[in-house]
Amino acid sequence: MNEPTVTNERVELAQLRGVSKFYRKGDETIKALDGIDMTVAEKGMVAIVGPSGSGKSSLLHILGAMDRLTAGEVIVAGQSLGTLPEAGLTDFRRKTVGIVFQSFNLIPNLDALENVMLPMEFNGIAREARRQRAQQLLSRVGLAARLKHKPRELSGGEQQRVAIARALANDPPLILADEPTGNLDSKTSQMIYELLKEIARERTVIVVTHAEALAELSNRIVHIKDGKLVA
């Protein structure tokens, strides 16, 4: 099920065809996404840039199976998200994507190590293996000396590093990050982008930002406006 689809001998991680997401608000229909066609290659960092309300988060939610599309087709790592039953979507969220949020979303009463171990528990990994992998991941993001720190005992940049380690816990081929540096100063933001770029050497990272300077660190920039991709 996790085999990527191969088109014209090029390996694609994700394909979107005519993807739309409409929200109903009373009598009004809001077209958050309006016919998106896009192919995302395996590996590398893609930045999604656009003004507030342009549909960036909606697009990420569809790609991460956090929300259902209204029309079109989305295939990620060989799985068609529009038709996958609920159990398949749960499995997809667990194994195929890792998500990084603007507000870090760490569990406050768990320390850094426990936060990174948690997704592996949902994935049925034995405790000692979880602990070892979490430790390795936290070392990789430069936090080997912060394993026992609770989120409130960490800086914003450190919390986002923990969140990135957590997103990598189940070794997903796709990392989605929605304005991951929105709460960070510019120097810390730069460091977080460099970390994401390094991670993108071995998997696909899709990052939403409205900071053009940071987007330029990525391998590809996709512009979105009013729910449509713009050239």
Alpha helices, DSSP H, located in the chain: 56-63, 86-95, 112-122, 127-140, 156-167, 186-199, 212-215
- For tokens 């899709």, the residue is 206
Give yes or no for residue 181 binding ligand ADP (CB under 6 A): no
Dist CA 195 CA 142 (whole Å): 10
The single residue among 20, 54, 189, 218 that binds ligand ADP, judged by CB under 6 A, is 54
CB of 78 to ligand ADP, least distance (A): 26
Phi/psi of residue 147, nearest 5 degrees = -60, -35
- Per partner kind, with CB cut-offs from 5 to 8 A, the member of ligand ADP, Mg ion, none near residue 122 is none
Q: Which amino acid is at 46?
A: V
- Per partner kind, with CB cut-offs from 5 to 8 A, the member of ligand ADP, Mg ion, none near residue 230 is none
CB of 182 to Mg ion, least distance (A): 9
Give the x/- contact pattern for Mg ion in 30-59, rule: CB under 5 A.
Answer: --------------------------xx--
Would you say 53 or 216 has its CB closer to ligand ADP? 53
Phi/psi of residue 53, nearest 5 degrees = 85, 5
Q: Which two tokens stand for residue 134?
A: 């979490």
Give yes or no for residue 79 binding Mg ion (CB under 5 A): no
